[in-house]
Chain A
């Protein structure tokens, strides 16, 4: 280090102290010819300070292009060779120098200062990249002493690199703290790579902590962070305690020393008792047959007598505190980004549930009927999309055809179901539930028989593939955006239908009071049929949408049906805003619980259902209950 500072000093004072390159080379000829990593440092420093031409010589030396022709140093360029000092061409045999990789590393480090001042910005950038990839403390001084950078981008990069190296190599604590502080708000991976090693710890075990130790955290033996066996092993490794054989070791030792039907005076039959085993082992140890071992009591007292801690390898607590704070800030910002990403996920999940549940909610609102076959209508829609795609090759066109087709088919199926089954079971909601369940298992098996059990692909058009990225780590796939838009579209369509059309008026009237509506000339049977068909039709469209990102199987519907039920129950019936709120709650909750325990989606669903069961305690009729005289019926 000191030698290097001297070099810098020499460089600055070049006009005064300039030494002739030739003289330097001549003076150190033997060293240069047969360099050793330990002793070559001062020589390289001297050459680097030799002024004009020194960088050429060092570069050639590092590239193994420097050679000796007689007593002159020459630089080999392909077939020709030039004198290292004067630059005139040289003929004759050249004895090439082959410095080993250690020496070449030293040369490369010395070269950095030349590259940093190189007039070519490409080479300057390359030098910065090289330092960023692998740095050592000599680079810090080189960076600091290099003349001002003219290119603003390179200047910023160099400044950042200099501060990073300051954190790593500077000897002055205040300068390092200032450098860490200067990165406030930054979350670059290079910064993390610099900060994380500062927080490296080693595990300490001993009678008491060293006075100047920078303690990361104190540990108590037999806790989650330091299991008992691990703590004792630390003591044994530190030479502070005798090793204690494991239970298996003891057993093996006892087995090896069975004499007749006793071990160490203890009958073999008694060895099922752990205390008796200890007795036997102690007896063997006293007799000298097995090595002595710490008893359980000794282990306890040894663990009691010693302190355990994680110590930072970095001695300064100020530095570690600053690094920890900085990293924590980074984690917080990362967490916010993740939360953002998650809320996008939750939003798309909520729109899927909304699409799946909206039809269920309408039919339940109007007729008090839960349609268990709703999930199978979703499946029917997805299969419609699949069949359309097998007939129409163009994906965009087939999707455009499939959406209305799915609506039409499931609308028809819904109307058929209503006419054949549900209208005969009016006022018997539980039986409707069971009858539609019968339809559900029949439809599901029918789909299995027709399309087979394996999943069928429903491929999205190219413009729906890929994802939209908002920021680092915040992205959402385009299909989910499309589903969100579709959900919004249906919300708008539904609001329009309910509030602005005659059908909507009639539906609302039947929902509120079927008897009164009938006496006003509305045919409740027809209205119920229309709403049932409409709800089923929307299920079909939801099916196409779900099929785009999930595999189309006969069980597609049943995967979503329970969540759809939940959405209806939580949201309340007879009000589309309730369904929306229910879907948002269920989707948000599911994603929210998932983030708390990302590895376990099963647990997330379990807790979500538990939450809903408890939620029903407080709002038995959902978030937006139906009001009016019919609500209690």
Chain B
């Protein structure tokens, strides 16, 4: 069983469970109220970002594909759930208004009302074709993974079959993200242009439930999704599949010569991680409340890579640590809560200087600590004796293959 080979999974799950229980006990809805609802939302969103970082780690840290487009899949997932949230919520409001009239509304009137409510802001009152299924939650839930998955499949197939790799692939994925963002920015593409979708924190059918409750439910959902995805990812990388994708990362040509379908493996991991990102996005944006095309900016995907790099790529908990630490630090510094640092001749206001600090520390991590923050964990682990559990992975006695298999 792969969990026995890698006890860090259990440690991670335990920490995640403790965190979730702790947050619940301190929440306003089910506990002492030490953490305000806005903080619960931040924590829930951070878990979603960690899930996206996990996916990024799979595709970059393990398969060596530096995709600068995974935040696009994340945002697409958000758009897909956002369409249903907005449509259903507007539907509730519109039917409430219309039912006050003497005559009950026809379905066509209802739909026109919803469309003009949603799209009035971009000067349209027709429901675009893309919103055909927006009224149906099950279909829209399927679309959350189907649309980004299909996009990743087509894009990946085109890119991998023509052997675009390395820096070229990174730039191509960045171009894809930019194209998608520019497309969504247009008013006539049917996604409300740069207004984006808003009011997503109001869950249809749960209007009477306070946000404090909803936010903690989303925290649980995010934690659950992260735990499931972590186990899935750990299972994937522990088996033969994991070995092959790591081999592709290290020497693609050699894997191809050995007879493996490199393109197939890359396409699988690319599409799978795109879907994971989409799920993360679908959980993230109802907590954020608003999504607009700026979320798809290429810079967002680069930040995802930054988190993974700072956390330590090539190990699953590294991605999670990176996403949690950097995004929480980032919101702490840019939120104006960090105390100014007085140098005597100049006072450093962290709102202004945080980006500089982040950029420089990123350079330093890349230069001096390629394994990122997780090298701290390595440091702690190396203080103890390596645990062999009586197994010998290598051909000879004393070969350190076990440690390599983990990396």
Q: Does B179 contact A (CB under 8 A)?
A: yes
Q: Does B101 contact A (CB under 8 A)?
A: yes
User: Given the complex of chains A and B, what is the CA–CA distance between A611 and B355 in angstroms?
Assistant: 34
Q: Does B305 contact A (CB under 8 A)?
A: yes
Whether B102 contacts A255 by the Cβ 8 Å rule is: yes
Q: Known contacts A429-B166, A562-B178, A569-B172: does B183 contact A251 (CB below 8 Å)?
A: no
Q: Does A498 contact B (CB under 8 A)?
A: no
Whether B362 contacts A434 by the Cβ 8 Å rule is: yes
Chain A residues, Cβ within 8 Å of B363:
421, 435, 438-439, 442
Whether A449 contacts B353 by the Cβ 8 Å rule is: yes
Q: Does B155 contact A (CB under 8 A)?
A: yes
What sequence of 0s and 1s flags, for each residue 76-108 of chain A, a beta carbon within 8 Å of any chain B beta carbon? 000000000000000000000000000000000
Contact residues on B (Cβ < 8 Å of other chain), bracket: 35 or more
Whether A274 contacts B178 by the Cβ 8 Å rule is: no
Chain A residues, Cβ within 8 Å of B354:
445
Q: Does A444 contact B (CB under 8 A)?
A: yes
Chain A nearest Cβ from B232, distance in angstroms: 25
Q: Known contacts A446-B356, A602-B185, A603-B186: does B176 contact A431 (CB below 8 Å)?
A: no
Neighbour of B103 across the interface among A254, A558, A606, A613, CB < 8 A: A254
Neighbour of A268 across the interface among B66, B103, B306, CB < 8 A: B103
Q: Which residues of chain B from 101 to 124 have a CB within 8 Å of any chain A CB?
A: 101-109
Q: Does B10 contact A (CB under 8 A)?
A: no
Residue of A nearest to B357 (CB): A442
Q: Does B201 contact A (CB under 8 A)?
A: no
Neighbour of A609 across the interface among B102, B166, B176, B353, CB < 8 A: B176
Q: Known contacts A421-B363, A441-B355: does B163 contact A620 (CB below 8 Å)?
A: yes
Neighbour of B168 across the interface among A269, A569, A605, CB < 8 A: A569
User: Given the complex of chains A and B, what is the CA–CA distance between A263 and B104 in angstroms?
Assistant: 12
Whether A448 contacts B352 by the Cβ 8 Å rule is: yes
Q: Does B94 contact A (CB under 8 A)?
A: no
Q: Which residues of chain B from 238 to 297 have a CB within 8 Å of any chain A CB?
A: none
Q: Known contacts A255-B103, A602-B185, A617-B162: does B179 contact A610 (CB below 8 Å)?
A: yes
Whether B182 contacts A606 by the Cβ 8 Å rule is: yes
Q: Does B311 contact A (CB under 8 A)?
A: no
Whether B359 contacts A272 by the Cβ 8 Å rule is: no
Residue of B nearest to A248 (CB): B109
**Count the A residues whose beta carbon is within 8 Å of the partner chain — how many?**
56
Whether A430 contacts B166 by the Cβ 8 Å rule is: yes
Chain A residues, Cβ within 8 Å of B102:
255, 258, 268
Q: Known contacts A435-B367, A606-B179: does B106 contact A430 (CB below 8 Å)?
A: no
Q: Known contacts A609-B179, A613-B155: does B309 contact A434 (CB below 8 Å)?
A: yes
Whether B103 contacts A445 by the Cβ 8 Å rule is: no
What sequence of 0s and 1s flags, for each residue 289-326 of chain A, a beta carbon within 8 Å of any chain B beta carbon? 00000000000000000000000000000000000000
Residue of B nearest to A275 (CB): B106
Q: Does A4 contact B (CB under 8 A)?
A: no
Chain B residues, Cβ within 8 Å of A274:
106, 108
Neighbour of B66 across the interface among A258, A263, A424, A430, CB < 8 A: A430
User: Given the complex of chains A and B, what is the CA–CA distance between A54 and B55 in angstroms?
Assistant: 98
Q: Known contacts A429-B167, A562-B175, A613-B176: does B362 contact A273 (CB below 8 Å)?
A: no
Whether B355 contacts A445 by the Cβ 8 Å rule is: yes
Q: Does B360 contact A (CB under 8 A)?
A: yes
Q: Does B174 contact A (CB under 8 A)?
A: yes
User: Given the complex of chains A and B, what is the CA–CA distance between A272 and B159 in angstroms?
Assistant: 52
What sequence of 0s and 1s flags, for each residue 588-603 of chain A, a beta carbon within 8 Å of any chain B beta carbon? 0000000000001011
Whether A562 contacts B174 by the Cβ 8 Å rule is: yes
Whether A442 contacts B175 by the Cβ 8 Å rule is: no
Whether B104 contacts A268 by the Cβ 8 Å rule is: yes
Whether B182 contacts A430 by the Cβ 8 Å rule is: no
Whether B168 contacts A620 by the Cβ 8 Å rule is: yes
Neighbour of B172 across the interface among A558, A606, A613, CB < 8 A: A613
Contacts A565-B174, A616-B159 known; 8 new A-B pairs at CB < 8 A: A255-B102, A425-B367, A433-B170, A434-B302, A569-B172, A602-B186, A605-B178, A620-B168
Q: List A residues at the B interface (Cβ < 8 Å).
A: 247, 251, 254-255, 258, 263, 268-269, 271-274, 277, 364, 368, 370, 421, 424-425, 429-431, 433-435, 437-446, 448-449, 558, 562, 565-566, 569, 600, 602-603, 605-606, 609-610, 612-614, 616-618, 620
11 A–B pairs (Cβ distance < 8 Å), ordered by A: A255-B102, A268-B102, A425-B367, A435-B366, A437-B302, A438-B358, A439-B363, A448-B352, A569-B168, A614-B158, A616-B159
Which 9 residue pairs of A and B lie closest in terms of their CB atoms, listed nearest first?
A: A442-B359, A438-B362, A445-B355, A609-B179, A272-B104, A441-B359, A438-B363, A435-B366, A438-B359
